[in-house]
Amino acid sequence: MSKKPSMEEIVSLAKRRGFIYPGSDIYGGLSGTYDFGPLGVALKQNVKNLWWRMFVSDREDMYGIDAAILMNPKAWEASGHVAGFSDPMVECTNCKARLRADHVEDKNVCPSCGKKGTLGEARQFNMMFSTQVGASEDASARTYLRPETAGGMFVNFKNVIDSFHPKLPFGLAQVGKAFRNEIAPRDFVFRAREFEQMEVEYFVHPERWEAAFEEWHGIMHAFAKAVGIRKEEIHDLEVAPEDRAHYSKRTIDFEFDYPFGRKELWGLAYRTDFDLSAHEATSGVELKYLDEEAKEKVTPHVIEPSLGVERTILAILLSAYDEDELGGEARSVLRLPAVIAPYEVAVFPLLKNKPELVAKAREVFRTLKVAGIRAIFDDNGNIGKRYRRQDEIGTPACVTIDFDTLGEKPELLDTVTLRNRDTGDQQRVNIADLVTALRS
Ligand code: GAP
């Protein structure tokens, strides 16, 4: 069982090591926005690639989409977001704080200024960011930054059918930005105003939705395991009808044990034919599927696994973080699976000031890069410090080039030490066998 970190420890590590910075940092930040640094970009890209592999490219029934973020506003009217994508908000007449009504414990006391009796009535606040398209400022030019990536897939349902003639069941998948003007962004990247989603809209025959729901449920749990989220920290919550989104007839929330409580990580929803029927009615374009064998037209029903990228990254960091002692020294370590770690291996020359060691280390480094291994070269500080640095960013293996590599002991010519992040164990490996050893 690893050590459970506090949010402060994770936020500090994320900033110090270049995973995640506050958005617009030098201007004092912008609430609810975050910038990913070099290691965060690498981790996020690896997570998205793995998701794409497990949810899309390993299958034969999935089609990728990369839709525009700005969409015709009628799409958001049809989907119900213009009328109903809102949270209850209360305003304090004293300090003017605007708060999520359902986050306020005592309706008589403003949690921001502490005054009694200053909170007004709750009213609904639409969370979509609106913007204008083109130079005109009248209402006809208004559209929205998408609050979910799903919409871009529903409007392309017919395009994909016309281009590819897929058989039911089949799905569309998209990874991209979503925007929500959250009343109270909080808990680091957990509730942000700009974030990314990895979503699937899986179209099924209306009578066969339950089997598809179960299948995607299993795939989501397999993905949690693959990214290293520990089983005991993830919990299914069958969402009660009154708490489900307007489009859903069944939802399972995947909840995670964050330091600030057990809260939603991902969602799996049965969206029925709500979206296709609504877009058909609003656009006037038929969005049905012709089952050629049964000679019938059906409006497919939809199963939607929806995963927020930032919440996934947060859960991964929290699950992977550990502190232990190695060789009598305390260290912090990210036990990231190799498939998502920013680097698979770090390559070191034992000494920075020995050109022959540096040249050989560079040669090994280049060989690994050419083989497609995510490698980093590091010659800064002593070996112990380099190990600690790589442990803290989750690099699973370190390779050191020393004088034996150069043949000081002839029997060790062209061998290196390969050190394991989790155990600290070191073994001597032939350079020619390194790629295989790293991939095993
Ligand atoms: N298309 C369905 C949909 O958007 P959702 O439950 O509203 O459903 C899906 O969002 C996922 O997006 C969530 O489970 C979470 O991972 C992520 N998410 C939602 N709001 C977020 C926010 N404000 N900040 C970060 N991630 C968020």
Ligand 1 atom nearest to 193, measured from its CA: 23
Ordered DSSP codes for 41-59: HHHHHHHHHHHHIIIIITS
Residue 191 Cβ contacting ligand 1 at under 6 Å: yes
Q: How far is the CA of 58 from the centre of ligand 1 (A)?
A: 25
Q: In the 8-state DSSP scheme, what is residue 380? A: S
Please choose, from the candidates 207, 216, 286, 209, the residue with its C-alpha nearest in 3D space to the C-alpha of residue 62: 216
Q: What 3-state DSSP class applies to 314?
A: helix
| Pocket test residue of 197, 229, 236, 262 for ligand 1, highest count of atoms within 8 A of CB | 197
Residue pointed to by tokens 């989790």: 422
Instruction: List the chain pLDDT tens, one digit each, 440 residues.
Output: 567 899 999 999 999 999 999 999 999 999 999 999 999 999 999 999 999 999 999 999 999 999 999 999 999 999 999 998 989 999 999 999 989 999 899 999 999 999 999 999 999 999 999 999 998 888 888 999 999 999 999 999 999 999 999 999 999 999 999 999 999 999 999 999 999 999 999 999 999 999 999 999 999 999 999 999 999 999 999 999 999 998 999 999 999 999 999 999 999 999 999 999 999 999 999 999 998 888 999 999 999 999 999 999 999 999 999 999 998 899 999 999 999 999 999 999 999 999 999 999 999 999 999 999 999 999 999 999 999 999 999 999 999 999 999 999 999 999 999 999 999 999 999 999 999 999 98
Query: Which phi and psi (to 5°) does residue 30 adopt?
Result: -135, 115
Ligand 1 atom nearest to 269, measured from its CA: 2
d(CA 176, CA 109): 39
49 in Cβ contact with 156 (< 8 Å): no
Residue 324 Cβ contacting ligand 1 at under 6 Å: no
d(CA 265, CA 169): 26
Residue pointed to by tokens 């199963």: 303
Question: Which pTM value belongs to this model?
Answer: 0.95
Record the tokens describing residue 129, joined without a space.
């960011």
Query: Cis (ω within 30 of 0) for the bond into 206?
Result: no
Q: Residue 111 CB: number of other CB atoms within 10 A? A: 13
Beta-bridge mates of residue 200: 173
Q: Residues 6 or more apart from 222 whose CB is under 8 A from it?
A: 54
Q: Look at residue 330 in the predicted model and tell me its pLDDT.
A: 92
Q: Look at residue 140 in the predicted model and tell me its pLDDT.
A: 82
263 in Cβ contact with 234 (< 8 Å): no
User: Where in 243-337 does DSSP place strands (E)?
Assistant: 250-258, 261-272, 289-291, 296-298, 301-308, 321-326, 329-334
Q: Residues 6 or more apart from 386 whose CB is under 8 A from it?
A: 346, 348, 378, 380, 398
Residue 148 Cβ contacting ligand 1 at under 6 Å: yes
Q: How far is the CA of 435 from the centre of ligand 1 (A)?
A: 38
Q: How far is the CA of 183 from the centre of ligand 1 (A)?
A: 15
CA separation (Å) from 145 to 129, 154, 179, 339?
6, 16, 6, 32
Please provide the distance, in angstroms rounded to a whole number, between the alpha carbons at the two ends of the chain: 24
Residue 194 Cβ contacting ligand 1 at under 6 Å: no
Residue 150 Cβ contacting ligand 1 at under 6 Å: yes
User: Where in 205-260 does DSSP place strands (E)?
Assistant: 234-238, 250-258
Residue nearest to atom 11 of ligand 1 (CA): 308
Q: How far is the CA of 433 from the centre of ligand 1 (A)?
A: 44
Q: How far is the CA of 432 from the centre of ligand 1 (A)?
A: 46
Q: Look at residue 213 in the predicted model and tell me its pLDDT.
A: 98
Q: How far is the CA of 307 from the centre of ligand 1 (A)?
A: 7
Residue nearest to atom 23 of ligand 1 (CA): 191
Residue nearest to atom 15 of ligand 1 (CA): 308
d(CA 289, CA 80): 23
Residue 192 Cβ contacting ligand 1 at under 6 Å: yes
